[in-house]
Structure 1
Amino acid sequence: MTLKYTVLGAGAMGLRFGVLLQEHAGAEVEFVDNWQPQVDTIKEQGGVYVSRDHENKHLVPVKIYSPEEYNGDPDVFIVFAKQMTLQDLLDRSAHFFHPDKQYVFSGMNGMGHVEKINQYFDPSHVLAGTCLIGTVLNQAGDVDFIGKSGAGSINVAKESDDFDQETLNQIMTDFTAANLNPTLHDNFYGTLMTKVVFNSVINTLCTLFEIQMGQFIDYEGAEKLGVQLIDEAFDVCERAGIQLLSTRQEEWETVRYVSAVSNPLHYPSMYQDMSKGRNTEVDYINGYIYDLGKKYNYEAKTHDFLRGLVHLAENTRKFRK
């Protein structure tokens, strides 16, 4: 069984998935993006410049389109838009959706994207997951894969038990061949929320202090800060009936290990957005945890406070020369 993939959202992670599937799994891959400078630059260059850990920069030919000019018919969509731009991308792409026969995988940060995808695709055609993979979009048409080949991993879960097994097997086979190191789970929301909790610590704190993950974990008080956020998030999930993939201690150990060992030199994606003058996804991470808790009469006040600090930092950019 051979699958054709179209990546919706050719940012850092979308490019990494697509390029690796193209180069290592031998899959046919096309890209669609709603950021016109990305589309124009990659077309002008004849591909995307790819580096690994800031070295060996080389041009990889890829096919990229704006939503309006694309008319392909893939088997699987890989969705990696920012939460704030996803609705626009889906609406502009609807003319080439065939929900009865196409499938979707999304590994986006935060929460809120599944509900938007379900406007077009039934849960029986949707996979979602989380990525522990560092990737940086330096500028339009220029991406940097962080970590050695094969570094990082992803978690994958079916939104519905009715997802076609043959298609699922082939997607997992292709992701494995692409060195994405996938693990399949049967706990859909627990899989997604486990990464939200991770990001609510490392993305937010590194962004506020403009530091790398290794610099965060070097601070002697890092564990106290992280555990406070993790405890609040677990309290929320317990009240919402969401069983996470880890215990509270295991979640902190993941934050510690990734920060100290796997990606100490990495600036999280939220920092990348902040540093480039884009709005962050904090409302879909810390804000989501707080808003979910409110539904169950619990206030995750530290998460709400950090959300406010990130928005304060966003607002102060207008005063900088």
Structure 2
Amino acid sequence: MGAGAVGCYYGGLLARAGHSVTLIGRQQHVDAVRERGLLLETDAGRETVPMAAAMNMSGAAGAELVLVCVKSDDTEDVGRALLAHLSPDATLLSMQNGVDNAERMTAVVGREVVPVAVYVATEMAGPGHVKHNGRGDLIIGRRPASETIAAAFTAAGIPTTISANAIDALWGKLILNCAYNALSAVTQLPYGRLMNVAGVEAVMTDLVKECTAVATASGITIPADCLQSVLALAEAMPEQFSSTAQDLSRGRASEIDHLNGFIVRRGEALNVPTPVNRVLHTLVKAMESKVQPTV
């Protein structure tokens, strides 16, 4: 559900491994997949993976597993729309940015949604064409179905770890996103070139300190090497643009309210100052106002 870069990449790997997969997404992608299959581009080359595609929620009917890959703003709406089509025993995975999507969707669908921390660099290179730029591993919450899911994902080439502390992992991913997404969007630079700009490392250091303070005040355990892991991402994915940068370049609303904006709101509630996050959140919102139609 949500056949963007993340949904297409993991859907493509699962379909390639022999699973029956349906992508639910926008018309241009659905039409392309129906016509020729999904074009999956990785370091190993390009291949076309046949699979089903749909533009409405009925594509989820009968599914044993639903990978929810939509933007955080759409979580509740998608949950309500899926309700009429979900099998009683279907498992839902929240493979989204942010830390509270699984909780928000659980409240809507009336069943526990499994949180998943997704570590992958992907982009849509054209209709029905997904390009993989790095990583691809997952950390999924420990639930009754998690062992079966992890085994199927691992067999499909998706490194998957089960954790009782998936929320802590999601906070770690949130901090990573807060460090890179807004800066890549404002500068329209990929991570490698971004880190070569004077002062960026110092800004990221301040961002991580703010996010870690908010996480700690929220009762979340953040690894001591969090900053080093954040700074190392640019070397691992030097050509990657953040999802926020990609959204703005295509004239779409971003998830910044659920990234730096979330840190700002949580910081206010906990009396933890977040001035750097506030500035970057405000800058991205200002950029969104240039490309989004006013109401």
Structure 1 position 82 matched with structure 2 position 52: no
Q: 1:295 aligns with which of 266, 269, 274?
A: 269
Superposed displacement of residue 71, structure 1: 5.8
Q: 1:209 aligns with which of 184, 187, 208?
A: 187
Note if contact 1:129-1:155 (Cα within 8 Å) is conserved in structure 2: yes
Structure 1 position 107 matched with structure 2 position 95: yes
Q: Structure 1 regions of 5+ residues with no counterpart?
A: 1-7
Structure 1 position 231 matched with structure 2 position 209: yes
Aligned to 1:5: none
Structure 1 position 40 matched with structure 2 position 40: no
Q: 1:128 aligns with which of 101, 106, 115?
A: 115
Q: 1:12 to 1:139 in 2, by over 3 A?
A: same
C-alpha distance after superposition, 1:85-115 (max 9, x if no partner) = 33333222221113x4121112211234223
Aligned to 1:19: 12
Paired-residue identity, % = 24
Give the Cα–Cα distance (whole angstroms) in 1 for the partners of residues 269 and 76 of structure 2: 24
Q: Tell me the TM-score normalized by structure 2.
A: 0.91
Give the Cα–Cα distance (whole angstroms) in 2 for the partners of residues 64 and 90 of structure 1: 19
Note if contact 2:191-2:239 (Cα within 8 Å) is conserved in structure 1: yes
Note if contact 2:22-2:59 (Cα within 8 Å) is conserved in structure 1: no
Structure 1 position 10 matched with structure 2 position 3: yes
Give the Cα–Cα distance (whole angstroms) in 2 for the partners of residues 84 and 177 of structure 1: 32
Structure 1 position 256 matched with structure 2 position 246: no
Note if contact 1:31-1:65 (Cα within 8 Å) is conserved in structure 2: yes
The list of structure 1 runs, each at least 4 consecutive aligned residues, that deviate by more than 4 angstroms after superposition, is none
CA RMSD, Structure 1 to Structure 2 (Å): 2.1
Note if contact 2:261-2:277 (Cα within 8 Å) is conserved in structure 1: yes
User: How many corresponding residue pairs?
Assistant: 292
Q: Structure 2 regions of 5+ residues with no counterpart?
A: none
C-alpha distance after superposition, 1:101-141 (max 9, x if no partner) = 12111221123422332010423xx3212222111012332
Superposed displacement of residue 19, structure 1: 1.0
Superposed displacement of residue 318, structure 1: 6.7
Structure 1 position 155 matched with structure 2 position 130: no
Q: Tell me the TM-score normalized by structure 1.
A: 0.84
